[in-house]
Homo-oligomer: A and B are copies of this chain.
Amino acid sequence: MPIEWTGSGPELLLRVDRNRPEPLGEQLESALRESIRAGRLAAGERLPSSRALARDLGVSRGLVTECYAQLRAEGYLVTRGGSATRVAAARPPVGAPSPPTALITPTAPIGSTPAGPVRVDFRPGVPDLSSFPRERWSRALRHACRDVPSDLLGYGDPYGDPVLRDVLAAYLRRVRGAAADAAHTVVCAGYAQGLQLVLRALAGEGVRVVAVEDPGDPDHRAAAATAGLDVVAVPVDEHGVDTGALAATGARAVLLTPAHQSPTGVVLAPGRRQALIAWAAARDATIVEDDYDAEFRYDREPVGALQGLAPDRVALLGSVSKSLAPALRLGWILCPPGLSADVARQKRLADRGSPVLDQFALADLLRSGHYDRHLRHMRTRYAARRAALVDALGRYAPEVEVHGLAAGFHAVAQLPPDTDERAVVEAARRRSVALYGISGYLLDPPERRTTPARLVLGFGNLTPDAISDGIATVADLLRGG
């Protein structure tokens, strides 16, 4: 039987039910998110103390505290000083605009693979390829080949298979706190394609300039150009993207990595989340959320997607590239309802829809719970690799500051002052260790010269021993020696 709590308004009802399979904390989080989204808990409204709510629901106080903390991280709730927890209000961006940001002009490509043998490769963005569940995926494909109705082997729905879209939407509501609706979900070939489709749909709506994080993905420039858009760079600080600087650009679209900024690893701060939503509403702007490695968070639950806060303003892009393998080329877009028909039209022009058998196989994995089990398994595995990196740096190069370890499988190592980033990368390469400097991710050329030396260390596809070996091999370089 559900336990209920009735808040200040007559319509507010939070239910948790011990007979449902989801943990109580998860149920409470979902119920609160849904109430805030639906406006049943209004902006500024005060929530009961964690003690009072725990008592009313008959749950532990810790469970409520955890739940409030999670929703603060996601931007649904705010707490000022020691006062009560309230529903966050969308606020206009604050602070003076940052220095004007420059339109990006093409520069040299980055991240090109150096020549010669590499023993330990800290390339970011690559998951543990040896853990791809070959057997399970093979079985899912076999079932797909056996079960797919013949009439689905023709040219399919450009939105994607309806069964997969249903299953995906349910998964993203549950695991990512997303406001996912199968009707506005488009299956695509991974992040790169999802981005192309959304940018083209936005260009069709009159968007001309898209803001991107700096440092950020250096491919964004070319991707935007292909869609006919210009790019403007917005700095990222320790709280995530600088919302004041974003507002100063005049852009009507922005590409973000809120859960784990790529490459700095910063988690977008709650206040920034609120500011972004307010900016998007005020400017009639669209936020493109790259949710690339959010499933892997170590200290607590993953931070819910920004999309859940403002589904009308956010297009969420996700894929199986980090959870299963990049080579599958399978992803999804949760579109703002006004954009989904355009995105699906772009998908039809791009390739007439994603392969049907792969869509069946992914639906099978999600439905059977194997996808969740695989993620849990991988979280443990990445946690061990993360620990190995922290240990190795602590032991061999304690002078190095490590950031961005809250989620995903890359971290940022800040080297001692006056270290020459390029010299470190080149010297390491001569010892067969591939390192990647952050300067390759800097879009705004002036900043390229003033930033401290930082390395983006991917640890997803390296064993703990390889991580330790790699760091030991280059430790003197990292120490600025």
A residues at B contact (CB < 8 Å): 125-126, 129-130, 132, 134-135, 137-138, 141-142, 145-146, 148, 150-156, 188-190, 192-193, 196, 200, 219, 222-223, 226, 228, 321, 325-330, 346, 348-358, 461
Residues of B within 8 A of A193 (CB): 350-352
Picked from B142, B156, B329, B461, the residue with its CB within 8 Å of the CB of A141 is B142
Say yes or no: A138 contacts B146, CB within 8 Å. yes
Q: Are B129 and A134 in contact (CB under 8 A)?
A: no
Bound state CA distance, A458 and B353, in angstroms? 22
How many Å from the CB of A341 to the closest CB on chain B?
13
Residues of B within 8 A of A142 (CB): 138, 141-142
- Interfacial chain B residues near A135, Cβ < 8 Å: 145
A443 CB to nearest B CB, Å: 17
Whether the Cβ atoms of B155 and A326 lie closer than 8 Å is: yes
Contacts of A152 in B (CB 8 A): 327
Most B Cβ at <10 Å: residue of A142, A146, A188, A357: A357
Contact B350 A154 (CB under 8 A): no
Cβ contact within 8 Å between B350 and A350: yes
Select A153's contact among B125, B154, B190, B327, beta carbons within 8 Å: B327
Offer 16 A-B interface pairs, CB within 8 angstroms, sorted by A.
Answer: A130-B150, A132-B153, A134-B145, A148-B327, A189-B351, A192-B348, A192-B352, A193-B352, A196-B349, A228-B228, A327-B355, A327-B357, A328-B355, A329-B352, A330-B355, A350-B350
**Are A354 and B326 in touch, CB under 8 angstroms?**
no
**A349 proximity list for chain B (CB < 8 A):** 192, 196, 219, 222-223, 226
A142–B361 alpha-carbon span in the complex (Å): 13
Contacting residues, chain B, for A223 (C-beta < 8 A):
349
Alpha-carbon distance between A286 and B134 when the two chains are bound, in angstroms: 42
Q: Which B residues are CB-close (under 8 A) to A192?
A: 348-352
Contact yes or no, A145 B137, CB < 8 A: yes
Residue of A348, A351, A352 with most partner-chain B CB within 10 A = A351
- CB atoms of B327 and A156 under 8 A apart: yes
Nearest CB of B to A362, in Å: 12
A354-B329 contact in complex given A150-B129, A154-B129, A346-B226, C-beta closer than 8 Å:
yes
CB of A124 to closest CB in B, whole Å:
12
**CB-CB nearest in chain B for A356:** B327
Looking across the interface, which residue of chain B has its beta carbon closest to that of A195?
Answer: B349
| Bound: A145/B145 CA distance, A | 14
Q: A134-B145, A189-B351, A351-B193 are in contact. Are A153 and B325 (CB under 8 A)?
A: yes
Per a CB cutoff under 8 Å, which of B132, B228, B355 touches A329? B355
Q: CB-CB < 8 A to A148: which residues of B?
A: 134, 327
- Nearest B residue to A204 via CB reads B226
Given A134-B146, A189-B189, also A153-B355 (CB < 8 A)? no
Question: In the assembled complex, which residues on chain B have CB atoms less than 8 Å from the CB atom of A353?
Answer: 329
Q: A145-B138, A223-B349, A349-B222 are in contact. Are A325 and B190 (CB under 8 A)?
A: no
Q: Is the CB of B327 within 8 A of A154?
A: yes
A154 and B352 within 8 A (CB): no
Complex: chain B residue closest to A355, CB-CB: B329
A129-B151 in contact given A192-B349, A329-B355 (Cβ < 8 Å): yes
Determine the residue in chain B with the shortest Cβ distance to A196. Answer: B350
Is there an interface contact between B146 and A352, defined as CB atoms closer than 8 Å?
A: no
On chain B, the residues within 8 Å of A328 by CB distance are 355-357
The distance from the CB of A205 to the nearest CB of chain B, in whole angstroms, is 15
Question: Roughly how many angstroms separate A468 CA and B241 CA in the complex, as a whole number?
Answer: 66
Write out the residue numbers on chain B whose beta carbons fall within 8 Å of the beta carbon of A126.
154-155
- A325 to B155 alpha-carbon distance, docked (Å): 9
Scoring A132, A200, A355 by chain B CB atoms within 10 A of each residue's CB, the highest score goes to A355
Shortest Cβ distance from residue A130 to the other chain B in the assembled complex, whole angstroms? 5
Cβ contacts under 8 Å, A358 to chain B: 355, 358
Chain B residues near A132: list those with CB within 8 A: 150, 153
